[in-house]
Structure 1
């Protein structure tokens, strides 16, 4: 058994797609329009865990409190510069030990995202 997907109920669908495509380097694998809204699946093309963005006006939205998602990157400094250039106000890069570095940034819906690099 493996973890298949995480579903995020969002208001800012297009901004979220742009964030996950540009910053997290995911691509759209499926996009479904319904009479009630839209559902977009993003993945990395390797069959790993997907993010499902659901934008339906009548459904409760995630407030981003108490939840965070962590993504691993090979070049943390490059990602930090990228999110700064987009005006996303990332935290400073932290180095808690000799094995990893990370920083935090919020996606367009206020979901806390950690970008981490293993050393």
Structure 2
């Protein structure tokens, strides 16, 4: 079995795309739909994706409540400063041991995004 994607329902697709592509440097892998329903897949080719779904007639409440997703990345300090500079609230960085550090940021719909930097010991 192979994991393919995780889906987030969003209330404002363009705002969500902007957050993920500009703030977190995701790539738009594909985009399709109609005037009433849009799906955007974010991520690199041959890697699991983050799927954003927007439906015109649905303005959902409580999106993101209790949901957290983690992404491994490099250069944690630069990303923290960049997000803060863009006005995003950042929780952390937190270092539970010498080999891992992470922080949290919320996306526009309240999904909690954990960004992790791992340092392998030599």
Superposed displacement of residue 35, structure 1: 4.4
Instruction: Report the aligned-residue RMSD.
Output: 1.5
Structure 1: state its 5+ residue gaps: none
| Structure 1, 56-65 or 68-77: larger mean CA deviation | 56-65
Q: How many residues align?
A: 118
| Residue 81 of structure 2 corresponds to residue 56 of structure 1 | no
Q: Which runs of 4+ in 1 moved over 6 A?
A: none
Taking structure 1 as the reference length, the TM-score comes to: 0.90
Answer whether contact 1:24 1:71 (CA < 8 A) is retained: no
Equivalences for residues 34-45 of structure 1 within 5 A: 34-45=34-45
2:92 and 2:28 mapped to 1: Cα distance? 30
Deviations 1:26-62 (A, max 9, x none): 21111113242211111123x1110111110334746
- Secondary structure (helix, strand or coil) at the match of 1:93 reads strand
Displacement of 1:68 after TM fit?
0.4
Asked whether the 8 Å contact 1:38–1:55 carries over to 2, the reply is yes
